[in-house]
A and B are shown apart, each in its own frame.
Chain A
Amino acid sequence: MYRRVCLLRSEGRSGEAQRMEETELAAAAMQAREASESGPEADARLEALMAGESERVAAAFAFAEVLAPMLSDRLRALSPARAVAGNSGPSRPDIRPARDARGIADYIEEMLAQDRAASR
C-alpha cells in the first residue's frame, strides 16, 4: 500500500497519495500496531518498511528513465524504414547529453548486449 503511495507521489498525484496515506494506510498501520506486542518495535519496523518501499520506487523510476531511451533506440534500429534504407550495420545510439542518468553499469550492459549479438 505504501508503494502505491510512493508511486502516486512520483507521478505527481500528491493529493491522491496524501488521501490514501491518511485513510487506508493509516488504518492498516493502526491494525498492525495493535496486533504487535511492542508498539515501538512495530513503529520501527513500519518505518523501515516504508523507507525500503520509497527507495524501491525511486530506483524503479530511475531505471525506467534509463531503459526507455535504450528501448526506443533498439526499436528504431529494428524499424521497417531502416531495413528499407538498407542499413544493415549495427545501430549507433544518439549521443547523450553530459548529465544523462546513465551509469557505468548501463555501459557495461550495452557492451554485453553487443557481445551477445556478435556471438549469435
Chain B
Amino acid sequence: MSSLTLEKPPAPASIASPAATSANPSRPAPAKATTLLIGLDLGTNKSCILAGPPGSTDITVSKVVPSVVGYVKDGIVDGIITGNVRILFGEEALRQRLHVELVAPLAEGVIARPEAARDFMEHVRQLADPSGRSEIRAVVGVPANADEQAREGIRRSAQGIFSRILLIPEPFLAALGFRDDSRVKQSGYVDPVVNSLFIDIGAGTSDLCLVQGYFPTREDQISIPFAGDAIDESIYDGLNRTYPNNGLSRLSVREIKEAYAYVGPSRKPLDVKVVIGGKSRTLELGDAVGDACNALIDRIYPALTALIASAASDSVVTLLQNIIITGGGSQIRGIDTVLQKRLADDGYESPKVRLAGQDFQRYVALGALKAARAARENQWQVLLD
C-alpha cells in the first residue's frame, strides 16, 4: 500500500499567471498587473474594441471607432487642438480633418501603414485600459485567408503594446459572436458554429466562410478584395461620369452609400440632396449606387455557391437555412433577399439568407473576446519587446 501524503492542493491555473511584464518601458511598472482581455475587430474603416477581465462574462469596454489616425499638421496654432496633442484618433481625427493629415492604418483588411497601425494599437490599448497597468492579451480578427505577411504585420503593430496575441479569421469569430451561448443547449436552437455559412462584408474585403463544427480550413474560406471601399470607388466614378466636377469627397460618397445603398432592380429616381460649393443640389444616383452595389453581389454569389458545393452533401439542406450576412455590407438594402432569390432561382432547396442584425459591427469583436476567454495558456503567442 502506498503512503498517503497530505499536501496543500495546487492553486487553480489562472490566466493571469504569467509574469507581469510592462510592455512599454514608458508605462509605469505595476506592482501586480491584472490581466485584461481584448477582442479586437481591426477593420479597414471601423474597428470594434471589446474588453473584459478573464473568468467572467463582463464587458467593461465596448467601442466602435473609425480606423483612422490624424497627425496634426505643422504650424497649427496652440489651442486649436485640445491639449495640443500631436496625434488624434477616430472621430476626433475626422472632426479635425482640416488640421490633421488623416492616415488609414489598413487597406483591404491588412496593415498598409505600419507606423499609423502602431499608433492606433496604442489608442486601442488606451481605450481598453486607461490606467495602462494591465497585462493585455488580445484576440484580433484577420481576414479569411490572410497570409503570413498580413499576420506578421498585425503582430509587429501590437509588439510592446499587447503582451500576448492570437489571430483568428474574422468570419469564424463572427459565428462565435453571433452564437447565443445561453441557447446552445436548447433543442430547437440552430448553433451557427455547427452548420452555417457566414458572409462578412467589411470595407476592404468580403469574407465567406463555412462553419461546420470544426475550425474552418483554408478551403472553407474565401476572401474577396471587393467590399465597401470598392463600392465607394465605383459610386465615385459613376458620379463623376454623370456629374463631372461635382466636388464631392470620398468621405461624402461613403456617407451617401451608407444612407442609400441597395441591391436588386434599379430604384430610379434616387434623388440625393448634397451641398456642392455651398449650394444645395439634388443628384439622381439610382444607377450609380445600384450598379456599384450589384457588382458586389456578382462577386459574392460565385464564392457562395462554391462554398455550398464544397460542403458535405448531407449538411447542405440545413446549411442553406443558415446563411448569415454580417459586417457593414449587411446594411445594404435588399442584400439578403437578392442573394436568397438568386439561390432559389438556381434551384437550391429553400434557401434562407438572413442578416446578423443591429450588432453587426460587434460580432467579430464579441467572438474574439469569447475566444480570448477560452484560449488555453499555451495557445497564446507571446509578443516579445
Contact = CB atoms under 8 A, between A and B. Distances in A.
B1 A24 contact: yes
A49 B214 contact: no
Nearest to B379: A108
A46 B6 contact: yes
A45 B6 contact: yes
B6 A108 contact: no
Interface string A36-58: 10000010011011011000000
A107 B172 contact: yes
B356 interface: no
Q: Chain A interface residue count: which class?
A: 35 or more
Interface in B207-232: 212-215, 217-220
A103 B185 CA distance: 13
Contacts of A100: 213
A111 B168 contact: yes
Nearest to B310: A92
Contacts of B374: 103-105, 108
A42 B215 contact: no
A42 B5 CA distance: 11
Contacts of B119: none
Nearest to B5: A32
Contacts of B315: 95
B6 A107 contact: no
Contacts of B2: 1, 28
Interface of A: 1, 24-25, 27-29, 31-32, 36, 42, 45-46, 48-49, 51-52, 89-90, 92-100, 102-105, 107-112, 114, 118-119
Interface of B: 1-10, 148, 166, 168-169, 172, 176, 184-185, 189-191, 193-195, 212-215, 217-220, 312, 315, 370-371, 374-376, 379
